[in-house]
Copies of this chain bind each other. A is one copy, B any other.
Amino acid sequence: MVKAAATRGDVHAANQSTPLISMRNIRKSFGSVHALQGASVDVHAGEVVALVGDNGAGKSTLVKIMAGVFGFDSGEYSIEGQPAKIASPADATALGIQTVYQDLALCNNLDAVQNLFLGRELTGPAWFGRRIRRAECEVRAREVLTRMRLGQLSLTRPVGAMSGGQRQNIAIARSILWTPKVVIFDEPTAALSHSASEQVSALVRTLANDGLGIVVVSHDIHNFVVNATDRIEVMRLGANVASFKSSEVTGEQVVNAMVGGNEAVNLAG
């Protein structure tokens, strides 16, 4: 993978400012399954934070709590220093948090444009029933897709009829359609081709340089995580076990922390 050309944000400087998002000691159970047992993460403006961990470590759960999909049992969640008032994904979106979910969360019966704008359509006046301004939406969609080098993607086919990668691309495009403050990517490149993945990592860096806070969940430790992020939070059994500056760590160290190597000390109960 080509390392993003742009310089990274200054991690230390960022850490001293008020974080855009700060989660402390979050716990969350599904019935008897304790998915999160005290997880914490901070995201600052201009920073790319990687969230890594073994399968089932609780990354997606944490991400969904950030995005307002789930509530949490205990812990603190604040946004720009204020306790977050997020009861639903709509609240999170309103606060400028955009999410690319691991399961994509697309409506299979709708086409690309409809999925991209879902929940935030450009519409006509209320007295006319909020008619969707399809033409404007299409132009805008085409712009974003072209920026992602997806100019050829059909805008009118239901996304249920698309390939895995095409669907993932649409989910990513959706998150950057508007100018959010924080973008959360849950395994954004899992289904993407090599070149499309590179597009996405370049995109992530561009967004961070524009001052956004970025959270990326990824299993691509050796290339993406170590090279394209600023900070790495390692999760195990629903809690943080280690935190690294990406520039000061090797892939092996991160992997060791994930599976419980020696340097990871504070193992969750």
Q: Which residues in A have some Cβ–Cβ distance to B below 8 Å?
A: 1, 30, 33, 53-56, 59-60, 102-103, 157, 161-166, 168-169, 187, 189-197, 219-223, 255, 258-259
Contact = CB atoms under 8 A, between A and B. Distances in A.
Given A59-B163, A222-B223, 6 more contacts: A54-B195, A54-B196, A55-B193, A56-B165, A190-B190, A194-B255
Given A194-B258, A195-B255, A163 B221 contact: no
Given A190-B191, A258-B194, A55 B164 contact: yes
A249 to B, nearest CB: 14
B195 A60 contact: no
A163 B60 contact: yes
A261 to B, nearest CB: 11
A71 B55 CA distance: 35
Contacts of A59: 163
A196 B55 contact: yes
Contacts of A222: 1, 194, 223
Most chain B beta carbons < 10 A, residue from A157, A189, A194, A255: A194
B258 A191 contact: no
15 contacts: A33-B157, A33-B161, A55-B163, A55-B168, A55-B191, A55-B192, A55-B196, A56-B163, A60-B163, A102-B164, A192-B219, A194-B219, A194-B255, A195-B255, A222-B223
A141 to B, nearest CB: 17
Nearest to A161: B30
B165 A55 contact: yes
Given A55-B164, A164-B103, A187 B193 contact: no
A54 B168 CA distance: 13
A206 B196 CA distance: 30
A162 B56 contact: yes
A51 to B, nearest CB: 12
Contacts of A56: 162-163, 165-166
A242 to B, nearest CB: 15
A222 to B, nearest CB: 8
Contact of A187 (B102, B164, B259): B164
A219 B198 CA distance: 11
B165 A194 contact: no
A193 B163 contact: no
Nearest to A53: B193
A206 to B, nearest CB: 21
Nearest to A196: B55
A194 to B, nearest CB: 5
